[in-house]
Structure 1
């Protein structure tokens, strides 16, 4: 349902969420490597996120990206609508059909449910659901 671009942006922001408390910027190359994202594509995505005010960047050897907002306050709706505007369906493919209004109504209901779900889910929620430890665990 979500484009690769949106999914990659979500993964990148989840990584920034995991490292939010450190206060240190995260390099794009590290995010790309850890999550299998093409680095040139990730850099483009990060620039879009920066223009939208979701992340800030620091240049230099110790530079990288950081969230501008606490992960508990950043909903997935903000992210998804940046890359995939959730427009309300305006017409049904078979508009001439007397049954078309029911299909259109269903489409509108689905869009509303999606909007509500995205608005009620934060980056912090996603990271919590992932249950990934911050450091690698070694089992013997």
Structure 2
């Protein structure tokens, strides 16, 4: 599984918006770009994708900026990834349930479906509020604490 640069930047930008949510303040794109080291032009495209997905509101003008459209507790990392990259798992650009194989490779479809399920189990339970507060769900911490998770095989 690879996380695109766009998805990584989008989650980081959304975490910045989540951190500002309790104050209700609008956050300017320049501030997000600087805080997270995201190229501003790229960030503008990401914010547009998040706006089209209904996850972010924007306000123009001198007092303008961006804010989350829903409480951070209701927005998962999966929601952000889907908004900018589409489905969480794809095989040759198709959903795993759409691909078929013949012969000894026939069970491979089930492998891809299992991979997607495990990915969902993590990114659907982590919310932007979790990121903003630094309090990840216990199950995610347990997975990350496993030394095998840190190997690059």
Specify the TM-score bucket, using the shorter chain as the normaliser.
Answer: 0.7 to 0.9
Gaps of 5+ in 1: 132-140
Helix, strand or coil at the partner of 1:19: helix
* CA-to-aligned-CA distance 1:79-137 (integer Å, 9 cap, x gap): 11122213432436xx4442x12332211101111123222111111223379xxxxxx
Q: Aligned partners of 1:113 and 1:78: how far apart in 2? A: 16
Gaps of 5+ in 2: 137-153
1:136 corresponding residue in structure 2? none
Q: TM-score, normalised by structure 1?
A: 0.82
Asked which structure has the greater CA Rg, the reply is: 1
* CA-to-aligned-CA distance 1:9-44 (integer Å, 9 cap, x gap): 111100001110111100001110111100011011
Q: Aligned partners of 1:52 and 1:2: how far apart in 2? A: 19
Summarize the alignment of residues 1-140 of structure 1 with structure 2, pairs less than 5 Å apart.
Answer: 1-84=2-85, 85-86=87-88, 87=90, 88-89=95-96, 90-91=98-99, 95-98=101-104, 100-129=105-134
Corresponding residue pairs, total:
128
Q: Aligned partners of 2:45 and 2:84: how far apart in 1? A: 12
Q: Which has the higher helix share?
A: 2
Q: Which moved more, 1:104-113 or 1:3-12?
A: 104-113
